[in-house]
Amino acid sequence: MKSKHWTWVGWPLGALPLAWITMQAAGGQLGPDPAETLVELLGWWSLVMLLACLTMRPAAQLLKVPGLVIWRRTFGLWAFGYVCMHFLAWATLLLGWDPSFLGEELTKRPYIIIGMLAWLALWPLALTSTRQSRRRLGRKWVKLHRLIFPAVLLGVVHQSWVQKSGYGETLIFVSVLLILLLYRILHGRNMIRK
């Protein structure tokens, strides 16, 4: 995997939504229910980052820009970061870490449980994201990092269950995910070897 001099751009790129959200929050632009809106925005960008991460390998192949592959890690880690902030904002701003609120949400609300599982699935990926880990784990690393697929899937289900109805956004996430999975099935061998 060659690192090009421009690949660092992925890091600030992933930070852009956060900067935008922070500006909106600081400017009081998040409406009358700002904490809820913040939680929703962070969750939405978590999914976008996860999908961006999955898009990088096909994009590198299709655009013939091999350097893009390194952005899988960039966006993968950003995805993990956004999910962590999503969780922290939810638990802190909306629930105030109130044990009875938290207990109820974590045991009674399927969409919360599913979201938590998605988050848990991302932990080992984030923790083994370094080059050393990759070298050390070898082929096991590749297998382990397939956890991203259940994580995204759970994330999309979580997103679709939060809302009252209206499946526009969910449809976008699902379509992108399906295209990526299809590409992977068609070019799968290629992707693992490379």
Partner 1 sequence: MIIRHKDPSAPKSHEITPESVYLKRRELMMLGGLAGLFSAMPAWGREIKAVDEEASRPLWLKDQVARAIDGAPDTDETLTPYADVTGYNNFYEFGTGKTDPAENAHTLKTDPWTVTVAGEVEKPGTYALEDLLKGQQLEERIYRLRCVEAWSMVIPWVGVPLASLLIKLQPTSKARYVAFTSLADPKQMSGVRSPFTGIDWPYREGLRLDEAMHPLTLMAVGLYGRTLPNQNGAPFRLVVPWKYGFKSIKSIVRIELTETMPETTWNMLAPDEYGFYANVNPAVDHPRWSQSRERRLPNSFFDPNWVPTRPFNGYDEVASLYKGMDLGKFY
Strand, coil or helix: what is 96?
A: coil
Nearer to partner 1, 111 or 183 (CB): 111
Closest approach of partner 1 to the CB of residue 122, in Å: 23
In the complex, the smallest distance separating the C-beta of residue 180 from partner 1, rounded to whole angstroms, is 21
Q: Judged by CB, which is closer to partner 1: 91, or 144?
A: 91
The binding site for partner 1 (CB under 8 A) comprises 25, 28-29, 31-38, 92-94, 96-98, 104-105, 108-111, 161-168, 171
Question: How far apart are alpha carbons 97 and 34 in whole angstroms?
Answer: 18
**Could you tell me the smallest distance in angstroms from the CB atom of residue 160 to partner 1?**
11
Residue 11 vs 101, nearer CB to partner 1: 101
Q: Which is nearer to partner 1, 25 or 179 (CB)?
A: 25
Instruction: Give me the torsion for CA of 54, 88, 156, 70, rounded to 10°.
Output: 0
Q: How many C-beta atoms lie closer than 10 Å to residue 99's C-beta?
A: 8
Tell the smallest beta-carbon distance from residue 100 to partner 1 (Å).
11
Cα 53 to Cα 72: distance, rounded to the nearest angstrom: 4
- 3-state helix vs strand vs coil in the chain, percent to 5: 85, 0, 15
